[in-house]
Structure formats: C-alpha cells, structure tokens
Structure 1
C-alpha cells in the first residue's frame, strides 16, 4: 500500500511547528495510523521540521 498525499495530511493535520520526527510518529499512532505509515515516518531523513513545506518535501522523498 502506498500512502497518498491526502492520507499523509489526514494523519498529520493540525501540527504545530517546529515538530520532531518522533512527534510525527506519536501523532500518527494516536490517530490509528498503520504500520506502513509509522515505518515511513520513522524513516524520514530529517529529525525536526520547521514548517509544513519542509515536512512536505521530506515526505516526497519517501513516498
């Protein structure tokens, strides 16, 4: 299963920036994201994201 852009934002909507990779994982866990999503978030190349644009760029590298 491939995670779509819309699905990413369903899991990550309403974040306050900056946000850490671990905060992203925790948020996704809280709302019931599946294993594939959690593994993808853990594989993000950056440990902290200053903005939604920065996060979007990072998600594009793993999608």
Structure 2
C-alpha cells in the first residue's frame, strides 16, 4: 500500500470532533470523499479513541 500523505488525511477529517473513535474517523472520512486506499488504511487502525488529529496520523504511520 502506498504511503498516505498526512495532509490529505487531515483534509478528509476536517471538522471531525475529538476525541473520536475509529468508527467516527472512518465515517467522517467517507463523508468527506476518502478514496478506497484511505478507507482501507483507516480500517486497519487500532480500535481506540483518538484525542487529536495528530493521534490519527501517528496511528496511520504505525499501520501504513
């Protein structure tokens, strides 16, 4: 899987209220037009609550 740009990730998560669960992150990204590659990557995130946007990027870096 190609590396996903953290800025692109945050564009799809713009307006998401934190803390947010993995499901919140996925639903919000889908609502904002995330492509299949990003959705697949988000599905691989740990099932946890993210306190801030950088927590999502950090988790993506660990699974991506």
Band the TM-score falls in, shorter-chain normalisation:
0.7 to 0.9
* Runs of at least 5 residues in structure 2 that lack an aligned partner in the other structure: none
The count of aligned residue pairs is 63
Taking structure 1 as the reference length, the TM-score comes to 0.80
The equivalent of 1:16 in structure 2 is: 17
Taking structure 2 as the reference length, the TM-score comes to 0.79
* Runs of at least 5 residues in structure 1 that lack an aligned partner in the other structure: none
Q: CA deviation at 1:29?
A: 0.9
Q: CA deviation at 1:14?
A: 2.3
Which of structure 1's runs of 4+ aligned residues deviate more than 6 A?
Answer: none
RMSD: 1.6
- 1:3/1:53 Cα in 2 relative to 1: closer, same or farther (>3 Å)? closer
